[in-house]
Amino acid sequence: MRVNNPETRARKHYMNICPADRRLRIMSSVFILSCIVLMNGLSLQAVQAVKNQRSEVTTAKMKPFTVADSIEMTHLIDPSENGNGQHPKSCPDGSKFFAVTERGRLDSNVREYALLIYNGEKPSEKPFQVATFSSSSNRPGIEQPRWIDNERISLIGEDPGELPQLYFINSRTRQRDKITSNPFGVGGYAVSLDLKKVIYAVFWGGNEEANKLKEEHGFVITAEGLSDLITGQWKSGKGVYQVEIETVSTGRVQTIQADPFQAPSGTVRFWVSPDGKHAITAEPAFHVPANWQKYEQRWVSSVARELKADRSQNYRPYGLSQVMLVDMETGEIRPLVDAPSATVPSIVWSTNSRSVVVAGTYLPLDVESQDELAKRKALPVVAEFDIQNGSFRRVADIPKNQSWMIQNGDSRDTFLVNVAKDGEALPPLQFRKKGNEWFQENASHSQNDPGSNITVSEAIDRWPKLVLVEPASHHETVILDPNPQFRACRFGRAEVIHWTGKRGEPLTGGLVYPTDYSPGVRYPLVIQTHGFDPHSFLLDGSFTTAMAAQELANRGVAVLQLGDSSLDEEASESLDLGPVYQSQYESAIDYLNNLGIIDRDRVGLVGFSITGFQVRYALTFSQYHFAAATSAEGNDFGYWQYIVEGNFPGWVAQNDTTYGGPPWSNWKPWLDHSISFHYDKIITPLRLESDSNREVAYEWENFIALRRLHKPVELIFVPGGAHPVVRPWDRLTSQQGNVDWMTFWLKGEEDPDPAKAEQYARWRELKKLQEADRTASAATP
């Protein structure tokens, strides 16, 4: 047998050496060879040639990075690798801090979560794993972990076949106590300081008695969406919650007496006062006054117009949230401020529980001063509210294009502000209260907190690691590398590039070169849309749906991840939105073509969510050639989607603002600019993805229109997916399917895997449709 052959055994031994040892042996060999060469009078150029050859051999033996590698990558969840250098959470006395990791498992289609405890005094020591959870749903296995004392951590945990519940985890004994057993699962929570009570949101199961009556006798449709009626989700709504308060010792549960409310996943938060008597949260408003339409933020004013009328439904729809005060004794809830929130708020309680500082809310418009009224219309604030009488004191206005998140400061009567502008982190701020006034001062992190020197370190070309930063030298010591296997993987070179759009706007993106890149060779290009962070590791892209940057680079394709445009805000919700993004795509193609990097005849586009519209707009109206495109889970600002979501105030407001009104009284802008009336112009092979039962209707117009026109189109349906997809098998369908799609149309390549034979047979038929479409278009005068 060949395995006994000495040469084969030696080769196997070489391949089993870890990459670092392999490099060491290569370097040793090169050193010895250099000595021999020099002794024989050969040139240093010859030595360099040998070293280059060795380097090429090493690179060739590295493993191509694949979609499977990305799915099974271990991610840092808390502190987040997507949080601009977040610090871990330390227990009150600073002796410990934790980290939460997550990885996908393709063998079982679950995501595994681990809770790791570190020694605060010796953070370089190996962490202690105290709990694991595995999620087979689209929800996280571990969510919202927090220290509740020096030993215990609270979190929402979930295992396969179970619903998410609140747990207390002992970091010393590993004891896991389930605090809630709600039949619908927990979606957000807070624990009082004395640990006697918890307040949490639970997924609403609907009104069983009312639903039974409706099923038996039918009912009048009021605010239900078409997708909800088709899927049966009308019974409980999507993302609808109720709030409950539970006494830990007795298990007694009290339901807040208010209509259930709808909210996006992950936005439900609570903050309990130090004395445990009150809690702050944000929920859709009970009533939307007409004057809320006067706030300048487009979302607020347009949704306020749609919500001004009373709506007969069993829950408050998602739209405009308002900061609410909950009485933890009686279960009563009321607005804290008569104004909407500008974003998900953040909260800091005073130590005496008499007041609370809120960031991200607007102030009421009931003022006579025109200067003050103008400020309140334009800017959200940080303000301190008195709990008893509702009076408030403005601390600061939040500038436009900035987001402020507040947390407790380094001492009593202070709070820290984490500031971001257009997604970029700015230096933090700190405010201190002196008497009744708040003053801004230099921010500082407590040196007693070991977590202040621990952070997530990453770069566009370096995967995230948890590191200890030496304060004086800023030297980083890795205390957790979640993915050492990546050292044996081949990655394309990634760099930040800058160019100018066709309107003169400055543009930024992340360019990933093919792993086999050679100057002078022109490569296919895939442009991925919807966000770019120059400080984050560029692996798949901004999302897991359809995006696969490094995976495509390993297949000989250059990938550009687009950043935001300086024109985005102005063009938002206007007819200029499509042209603004078209300028990005076209100018990027020109720029990379002029550099000699790409073949402009082999360019693909990938859109997700809102950028699904922008991709389809370019396919419809651009004169540039696109060889392939993907639009996944995408908005299209089309007529059909407007009809499907016509009972959702936010969707209607967004579209009406863009077109200047509904189509029936305003046809011209719809006819001129809506994709719905221009499908005949699309000649690019288009892959559509719909990753949930509820939203498959969104893509129906695109799919049927292009199919009826005999255009090359395909619709992929993942029934139980999420936005974006997160489960391993869902990601494999979306991301690997898109890699195959792009390499087929851009390079003419087919994966020889027999399991994919039907896929390529289907695509070859689409190619015939494309050729027939081109012939017909060429023959048209």
Residues 6+ apart with CB under 8 A from 197: 191, 245, 246, 247, 248, 272, 276, 328
Residues 6+ apart with CB under 8 A from 432: 409, 413, 414, 438, 439, 441
List, for residues 698-754, the tens digit of each pLDDT value.
999 999 999 999 999 999 999 999 999 999 999 999 999 999 999 999 999 999 999
- Domains in the chain, start-ordered, CATH in brackets? 2-61 (no CATH), 74-179 (2.40.128), 181-335 (no CATH), 348-454 (no CATH), 490-779 (3.40.50.1820)
Q: Which helix (H) or strand (E) holds 400?
A: none
Residue 36 has pLDDT above 70, yes or no: no
pTM of the predicted model as reported, rounded to 2 decimal places: 0.87
pLDDT at 302: 84
Distance CA 438, CA 433 (A): 4
Q: For residue 254, what are its two tokens? A: 């009290």
The predicted model gives 241-268 an average pLDDT of: 91
Residue 55 has pLDDT above 70, yes or no: no
pLDDT at 116: 98
- Residue-averaged pLDDT of the chain: 89
Q: Which of 40-54, 298-312, 458-472 has the lowest mean pLDDT?
A: 40-54
The predicted model gives 329-334 an average pLDDT of: 95
Residues 6+ apart with CB under 8 A from 280: 270, 271, 323, 324, 325, 326, 336, 347, 349, 356, 358
List, for residues 596-621, the tens digit of each pLDDT value.
999 999 999 999 999 999 999 999 99
Q: Answer with the residue of higher pLDDT: 472 or 22.
A: 472
Residue 39 has pLDDT above 50, yes or no: no
Q: Which of 86-95, 223-232, 529-538 has the lowest mean pLDDT?
A: 223-232
Q: CA angle at residue 377 from 374 to 381, to 5 degrees?
A: 105
Q: For residue 130, what are its two tokens? A: 């105290």
Percent of the chain at pLDDT > 70 equals 90
List, for residues 316-330, the tens digit of each pLDDT value.
888 899 999 999 999
Q: Provide the pLDDT confidence category of residue 309 given band limits of 50, 70 and 90.
A: low
List, for residues 669-696, the tens digit of each pLDDT value.
999 999 999 999 999 999 999 988 878 8
The predicted model gives 280-292 an average pLDDT of: 94
pLDDT at 193: 94
pLDDT at 450: 54
Q: Which of 53-67, 333-347, 739-753 has the lowest mean pLDDT?
A: 53-67
The predicted model gives 591-600 an average pLDDT of: 98
- Helix, strand, coil percentages, rounded to 5, for the chain: 30, 30, 40
The predicted model gives 426-436 an average pLDDT of: 91
The predicted model gives 518-536 an average pLDDT of: 95
The predicted model gives 528-551 an average pLDDT of: 95
Residues 6+ apart with CB under 8 A from 645: 225, 226, 227, 651, 652
Distance CA 612, CA 15 (A): 44
pLDDT at 317: 84
Distance CA 589, CA 532 (A): 17
The predicted model gives 618-642 an average pLDDT of: 96
- Could you tell me the end-to-end alpha-carbon distance of the chain, in angstroms, rounded to an integer? 69
Q: Provide the pLDDT confidence category of residue 27 given band limits of 50, 70 and 90.
A: very low
Residue 60 has pLDDT above 70, yes or no: no
Note the Cα 373 to chain centre separation in Å: 35
pLDDT at 444: 61
pLDDT at 319: 83
Q: For residue 451, what are its two tokens? A: 């977590």
Percent of the chain at pLDDT > 90 equals 72
Return the residue matching tokens 């550099």.
595
